[in-house]
Amino acid sequence: MSASLRQVAERAGVSIRTVSNVVSGFALVAPETRARVQAAIDELNYRPNAAARHLRGGRSGLVALAIPEIASPYFGELAGLLAEEAERRSWMLLVQQTGGDAEHERGLLGGVRGQVVDGLVLSPWALSPAELRRRPDAVPLVLLGEQDADGLLDHVAVDSVTAARDATRHLIGRGRTRIAAIGLQPHLENGTAARRVEGYRQALAEAGMPADPELEIAVQRLHRADGADAMRHLLDAGPAVDAVFCFSDQLALGAMQTALRAGLRIPDDLAVVGFDDVEDGRYATPALTTVTPDKAAIAREALACLADRISGDRAAPARRIVVPHTLTVRDSG
Amino acid sequence: MSASLRQVAERAGVSIRTVSNVVSGFALVAPETRARVQAAIDELNYRPNAAARHLRGGRSGLVALAIPEIASPYFGELAGLLAEEAERRSWMLLVQQTGGDAEHERGLLGGVRGQVVDGLVLSPWALSPAELRRRPDAVPLVLLGEQDADGLLDHVAVDSVTAARDATRHLIGRGRTRIAAIGLQPHLENGTAARRVEGYRQALAEAGMPADPELEIAVQRLHRADGADAMRHLLDAGPAVDAVFCFSDQLALGAMQTALRAGLRIPDDLAVVGFDDVEDGRYATPALTTVTPDKAAIAREALACLADRISGDRAAPARRIVVPHTLTVRDSG
DNA sequence: GGTCATCGTTGCAACGTTGCATGCCACGTT
DNA sequence: AACGTGGCATGCAACGTTGCAACGATGACC
């Protein structure tokens, strides 16, 4: 066990309170006393007890990040940035995997196991906006992704409609005429996929191209395997396509592998555009053209927002923070 | 703020202690009392206070994972598995990024900020074995990777020498004669790279092939960019090669991109083998042949070991746990 | 010379929980 | 009737910290 204030106090011949004053740095302490206390602290290798501070002060210095899965490159990169940002704020980051499970997500809304954390950054997957809204009012919460919760919950995201439109416009601009979209998720309440389809359709409409339901492929999850399956489906049964816009880089990479194996040349026969700009895509062959959300901004804004909630007005109107995105054109389309 | 035992007790008309007994499930409580207390708990939505429990019991239920970076696919996948395993044990997982920085790693050895965690899983990068050994005896610690700390610290890892030998043997078996190794890290104390070179050299020696220093390429880190640089170096200045064994999949993927861009056919002109078996590699084109460490076993064993330390004998002799690996042959070599 | 502000230090209480010991009651045994 | 037993409930103390108010000592001021 580690030394406590009491032991330091005994050793330095002062009261517990005085040691506390030295440790916190504040308050008036005579230089000589401070030095003596400091010496005792060093000798005993005193470290303030986090549990006691937490109990007394109500702050744990912990923030939780709840995401579907850490191993997914997008969430991994995001988690890394959030960890950096948390470190900068002297917070510790606790990571919870929801597995995209509604039950699990719901559980977290009520607070992470016994009020351990000061705040929660949640990237919902299966939870409906309605459920998000009627959450038990517990820890400060910031949502990642667009959530149909305007005015009720803070959330940070790129503008998916615009981003998807940009990506699709790009393909149209390159002369593609049969552009498929991979990544619809009609089974989920989560609005992200819906918004990306919307942007995709808008771009087609602008260009006077008909929206063909056969070109809109739904997936269960956003993994490479789902992209591979979707592409196989398109190649087997589907109509001819000369481009695919995938709602994540993972989907795009899976789709690319299938297409390449089928002997298609990318981008000559098939252009592929992704979404997220994860590192994989940059080193894929061909390198993936993709929508680049400002992930650092997402991390920064999410924690800034959380910080405001934690130490500021909890009842302040909810904020909808939109971070910038760009289209990064590489070799795949 | 949330309800406390006292408030529940008042509402149910019993003592604090009795409520505590109901909450903990143990002890003898009359069915009728239990029901009344339970009702009060539900009405007030009582959740035990983690800080108080931590202070009282000395356990926080938190375990820290310290890795160089979450965004790296290997560590991301590992973190995911550790998170699952932690969940299974009702632990929460706190993630610390060290950035491969010695100072940072050293800081963690002394305990994560004020004894917040019950245990620490550390994947050292820059820290020397000597420093690891003379750590201040604080929280229970398990190291990931081979650490030259036998008998002093618990650690979990694959057998890198054997794994590297297996991989190299495979290339030799396929008739490759000029096999480069990418991933040496002579600037680091961390022994992993050294072990992989050793296995590589062993396999060459077995086959009566000379070890050519020009074929052993050092890197700063294990990112795709480093692999790409190393490959470029080999193609530009270096001698002819017909295979590369990379010490991580990241390196291999970077190397592959450079080779493909240079017009080499993989595996015809150049065979590429990686290490880690991350998902990227499976979906790369061509799919990456690689050493597959049993990552789930690493996660399982690491936490099992930590659990033993936490609730068992802290002075027990350190364990060196070796998890199995296989060679997964795909298209790249 | 007395009152008052200032500086440095201190004791008390409380945060919410649980281990321990003890209390009380009813029942069955001697 | 006295005693022991077991079931159930409770009070006290302590974990380590910090906010608050108060303390004595010192010097300044009127």
Query: What are the tens digits of pLDDT across the range B192-203?
Result: 999 999 999 999
Residue pLDDT, tens place only, B149-206: 666 889 999 999 999 999 999 999 999 999 999 999 998 877 899 999 999 999 999 9
* Choice between A302 and A45, residue whose per-residue pLDDT is larger: A302
Question: Any atom of strand C under 7 A from CB of A18?
Answer: yes
Strand partners for B154: B142
Could you tell me the pLDDT band of residue B108, with boundaries at 50, 70 and 90?
Answer: confident
Contacts of B228 in chain A (CB under 8 A): 283
B54 reaches A (C-beta below 8 A)? yes
Summary mean pLDDT of chain B? 92
% of chain A beyond a pLDDT of 70: 96
**CA triple A190-A195-A199, angle to 5 deg:** 165
Could you tell me the pLDDT band of residue B102, with boundaries at 50, 70 and 90?
Answer: confident
Rounded mean pLDDT of A272-283?
96
Instruction: Of B192, B180, B189, give the one whose Cα is nearest residue B217.
Output: B180
Residue B320 three-state SS: strand
Rounded mean pLDDT of B83-101?
94
Nearest CA in chain B to A251: B283
- Max mean pLDDT among A150-159, B21-30, B227-236 falls in B227-236
Contacts of B83 in chain A (CB under 8 A): 70, 95-97
B60 reaches A (C-beta below 8 A)? yes
According to DSSP, the β-strands at B141-144 and A141-144 are unpaired
Residue pLDDT, tens place only, A174-230: 999 999 999 999 988 778 999 999 999 999 999 999 999 999 999 999 999 999 999
Cβ B189 vs Cβ B127: under 8 Å:
yes
Length of chain A: 333
Residue A282 has pLDDT above 70, yes or no: yes
Rounded mean pLDDT of B1-25?
90
Which residues lie closer than 8 Å to B168 by C-beta, 6 or more apart?
B179, B181, B199, B200, B202, B203, B204, B245
The pTM for the full model equals 0.94
% of chain B beyond a pLDDT of 90: 77
Q: What pLDDT sits at residue A315?
A: 77
Q: What pLDDT sits at residue B46?
A: 92
Rounded mean pLDDT of A27-38?
87
- Find residues 260-289 of chain A whose CB sits inside 8 Å of chain B: 260-261, 279-280, 282-285, 287
Burial class (CB in 10 A: 0-12, 13-18, 19+), A26: exposed
Q: What pLDDT sits at residue B59?
A: 92
Calpha distance B289→A333 (Å, rounded):
27
Rounded mean pLDDT of B308-327?
89
Residue A142 has pLDDT above 70, yes or no: yes
Residue B311 three-state SS: helix
The DSSP H or E segment spanning B249 is: helix B249-261
Could you tell me the pLDDT band of residue B314, with boundaries at 50, 70 and 90?
Answer: confident
Residue A136 has pLDDT above 70, yes or no: no
Q: What pLDDT sits at residue A191?
A: 84
**From the CA of B267, how many Å to the nearest CA of chain A?**
15
B47 reaches A (C-beta below 8 A)? yes
3-state secondary structure chain A: CCCCHHHHHHHHCCCHHHHHHHHHCCCCCCHHHHHHHHHHHHHHCCCCCHHHHHHHHCCCCEEEEEECCCCCHHHHHHHHHHHHHHHHCCCEEEEEECCCCHHHHHHHHCCCCCCCCCEEEECCCCCCHHHHHCCCCCCCEEEECCCCCCCCCEEEEECHHHHHHHHHHHHHHCCCCCEEEEEECCCCCCCHHHHHHHHHHHHHHHCCCCCCHHHEEECCCCCHHHHHHHHHHHHHCCCCCCEEEECCHHHHHHHHHHHHHCCCCCCCCCEEEEECCCHHHHHCCCCCEEEEECHHHHHHHHHHHHHHHHHCCCCCCCCEEEECEEEECCCCC
Residue pLDDT, tens place only, B117-129: 999 999 999 888 7
> Which nucleotide has its C1' atom closest to residue A7's CA?
D16
B77 reaches A (C-beta below 8 A)? yes
Q: What pLDDT sits at residue B98?
A: 94
Nearest CA in chain B to A60: B51
Could you tell me the pLDDT band of residue A1, with boundaries at 50, 70 and 90?
Answer: low
In chain D, which nucleotides are within 7 Å of a protein Cβ? 7-12, 14-20
Residue pLDDT, tens place only, B239-264: 899 999 999 999 999 999 999 999 99
Cβ B102 vs Cβ B74: under 8 Å:
no
Cβ A84 vs Cβ A28: under 8 Å:
no
Calpha distance B70→A222 (Å, rounded):
20
Report CA(A52)–C1'(D27) in Å, whole number.
Answer: 39
Question: Any atom of strand C under 7 A from CB of A208?
Answer: no
Residue B142 three-state SS: strand
Residue A287 has pLDDT above 70, yes or no: yes
Residue B312 has pLDDT above 70, yes or no: yes
Q: Which amino acid is at A109?
A: L
Residue B16 three-state SS: helix
Residue A134 has pLDDT above 90, yes or no: no
Burial A70-79, CB ≥16 within 10 A → b, else e = bbbbbbbbbb
